[in-house]
Every structure is written in C-alpha cells, then in structure tokens.
Copies of this chain bind each other. A is one copy, B any other.
Amino acid sequence: MSLLSLNTATIRKQWKLAQAIEGCTRHDIRGISPWRDQVTALGLRETKKLIDENGLTVTGLCRGGFFTAKDWKDDNRRAIEEAHALGAQCLVLVVGGLPAGSKDLIAARNQVKDGIAAILPEARKAGVPLAIEPLHPMQAAERACINTLEQALDLCDSLGDGVGVAVDVYHVWWDPKLESQIRRAGKKRILAYHICDWLVPTRDLVADRGMMGDGVIDLPRIRSWVEGAGYTGFHEVEIFSELDWWKRDPDEVLETCKQRFLRVT
C-alpha cells in the first residue's frame, strides 16, 4: 500500500485538489500526482503547503509537453518551475500531436525532439527529471506523436541525462516489444509507472479507461517486468472515465483503487 499513488485525473470531476489531498490522507494513499490547472486553481504555495502537511510524495506533475503548440516554450518553463516547487519526482510530458492543419508526423516528431532538447538544460538545473510518456497510437494525431516505448527510449538515448519515460500500462500494454523495452529502460529511465485497465469494448478513445481488474491488461506480468528492470517507485492510478468512475462517489473510487492495487496488480 505504501507504493500507491493517486493521479488526480481519476477523481477530477468530483474533487478539487484540496479535497483530493485530504482524500489521499483519509484513505492512506501516500503518493499524489496533480494536474497543473488544479495547482493553479489552488495556488502553487497553498498546494505545496497542503501536500507537505499531509506528508504526500508528489510522484509526478501533469503535465508539460505539447511541443507542437505555439506557446510551448514558456509553458514548459513554468511547468518545470512548478514541478521544482512541489518537489515532484518528475514532470510528465505529453508531447503533442500534429500541429493544426499538418499531416507531417515526421516533422512533428522532430519538433518534439527539439523542444525537449531546448527545455532540458533548465529541467536539469531545477533537478526535475522529464518523463516522456508514450501515448497509445490512437492518440498520435491529437495528443502525442511519441507512441511506443522504443521510440521514447531512442529519444532519451539521443538526449542524455535528465530525461526518462512514464510507463502507463494503458498506452503500452499491446506492444509486442514491451518486455524488451522495459528491460532496456531500466531503473535509470523509468521515472513513473501508471496503472489502470483496458476495457472491452472501449467506448471512447480518451475517457473510457477501466479500473484495474476490469479489463484485459495483464497487470501482474507488466509489474513484474517493471520491477524486474529495477523500478522501485510508486504505482500511480490514472483513470479517465467519463461513463463510470467520474460519476461515482470519490471515496468509493479511492477505496476501490486500494483494494484492486492489492488484489489484481
């Protein structure tokens, strides 16, 4: 249980950030990964104060990235500052998809590479590791043109220190090279491990993730690979669920996360 973390997206429709922090403490969840709009709404200083008072570990800040958008540079600088202020274990990068009107994935991927390279010195100086999150290929156009762990790790290799990956089972479970790429990533590059489940059928490309155990992802197997690679950090539950979990009592959601974390992951 001491390794469970709550990504606040899981209950974002029901709770503001202050409630989520208190909820974690009430349910004895020791890690939290907040989203920046929530941090802004609560205030960076107040967020830091509440998280410290509750003794929570910030397992990640969501999110930087979107390097194919116009204001990417300033936005990522602010994200690094906020991650530093919160003592986040990493800044999660959702790197962005195709720029508006473009069909050029190769160019978008080069933009992403250049963008990360541009902010990396500041991230290193601030002591904030950048976690590239490969997103499911069905998100390639709209959210992230980094779509496999192999691709993300190739990028890490070319960028050097201070950058790694967020391994989210939802995005990578299908990948025939998953085991070998997790091994390749190793302790050094795995900065975060996100869990949820893939529902059959999946009714929406973004907001129909399942609770651990309700889908088809072999969570114990992937966990064994991640831990076998040397990862000893938190397991962060991140569930976007317009049709189910966002409609439920958030205390029930957190209790279910705990039970499932112990029983099925």
Residues of A participating in the B interface, judged by any CB pair closer than 8 Å: 98, 102-105, 109, 136-138, 140-142, 145, 147-148, 150-151, 173-176, 198, 200-202, 205, 216-218
Contacts and interface: CB of A to CB of B under 8 A. Distances in A.
B218 A174 contact: no
A200 B142 contact: yes
12 contacts: A102-B216, A105-B174, A136-B137, A137-B138, A138-B174, A141-B200, A142-B200, A142-B201, A147-B174, A147-B175, A151-B176, A202-B205
Contact of A218 (B103, B151, B200): B103
Nearest to A101: B216
Contacts of A217: 103
A80 to B, nearest CB: 26
A137 B172 CA distance: 9
A205 B202 CA distance: 8
Contact of A138 (B103, B138, B216): B138
A105 B141 contact: no
A138 B141 contact: no
Contacts of A138: 136-138, 174, 202, 205
Contacts of A102: 216
Contacts of A148: 176
Contacts of A142: 200-201
A145 to B, nearest CB: 8
Given A98-B216, A201-B142, A216-B98, A174 B104 contact: no
